[in-house]
Amino acid sequence: MTIYTPSEHKKPKFFRIRTLIYPKFQLMLIGVNACLMTGAFLFIFYETSQAFRHFRELGQSIQLYQDHPYFKLIQFQYNTLLSHLIVAFVAALIAISFATLFISHRMAGPIVRLRGYFREIEKSKVVSIPLKFREGDFFEDLPACVNEALQALTSESKKINQDSTQSS
């Protein structure tokens, strides 16, 4: 029987995911998407209402009486279409919000990791490990650039220190 100490026990990777790692950025993206989708929905709703208003005017122009089946059909079609548009809008809004959250997580992760990496260097005054991002993150070329730049600075700093100790 194996006994795990708290430091040895690791949760499965699925439970370690924090989706809002940079909330200001991620929620702003979701909000912008929601506003754009709402605007598109309102435009479609307005145009649909105008089309059905035109259908009602056509019925009135040929002098159909108010309870004519044509008007009932138009109203039924309008209500059905509107309810389907609302369901489609809500479903799309939820799907796009989750997609935006997932994509923004892959964008914000490297920024958060880079910020933490430089804060660690600031505290320790030493570059101890190379920068790495998660697999699937955006900006996959950034760690190599940062690591090469830090390596160049470190080697240049060592060279300057050696030159100053030799000249003393």
For residue 7, what are its two tokens?
Answer: 């430091």
Within 8 A by CB and 6+ apart from 78, the residues are: 48, 49, 52
150 burial type by CB count under 10 A (0-12 exposed, 13-18 middle, 19+ buried): middle
The pLDDT tens digits of the residues spanning 80-136 come to 999 999 999 999 999 999 999 999 988 998 999 999 999 998 898 888 888 998 888
| pLDDT score recorded for residue 3 | 39
Measured distance CA(40)–CA(36) in Å, rounded: 6
| pLDDT score recorded for residue 13 | 54
Residue 4 pLDDT level (bands cut at 50, 70, 90): very low
For residue 41, what are its two tokens?
Answer: 């929905």
- Over range 8-19, report the average pLDDT: 53
Task: Find which of 72-81, 110-119, 130-139, 148-157 is predicted with most confidence, using mean pLDDT.
Answer: 72-81
